[in-house]
Amino acid sequence: MWNFKRILWMIAGSLSLIIGLIGIVVPLLPTTPLVILAAFCFGKSSKALHHWLVTNKYFGRYLMDYQSGKGVPIRIKIFAVMIVWTSVLFTLTVIPLLYVKIFMIGVAIFVTIFIFTSPLLKEKKNLTNSK
């Protein structure tokens, strides 16, 4: 039974990571939460996959900071919110359906609130410049 659960966690982690990677180029797919979910799933299924993801050149530092409760740098938060709102505003000009527009604005507001209420990574101050 454990092997079956492990396989399900690996599949969930892999799908989450793949969709998160697609989210890098498709603005409304939330990359960061999906990569965090992938790390969680890999943590439940495979120490090797979890280690690979948290030591990854692109995502590793952010995952380690998030998992240790340190948060996300403000520049990443601002960039993420800018991408979300740019894609939503573009979509609003293309999609004629009012319900879809309302849904898109709701999603953008929810994502913005989620991003700005998550922990903020405090940047390290240079001790030599603080005299």
Considering only CA atoms, which of 58, 122, 112 is closest in space to residue 38? Answer: 58
Cβ neighbours for 108, distance < 8 A, ≥ 6 positions apart: 84, 85, 88
Mean pLDDT of 63-70: 76
- The pLDDT value recorded for residue 131 is 43
Distance CA 26, CA 90 (A): 12
User: What sign does the CA torsion over 88, 70, 16, 18 have?
Assistant: positive
* Integer angstrom CA distances of residue 39 from 16, 43, 94, 97, 101: 9, 6, 35, 36, 32
Report pTM. Answer: 0.58
- The pLDDT value recorded for residue 127 is 43
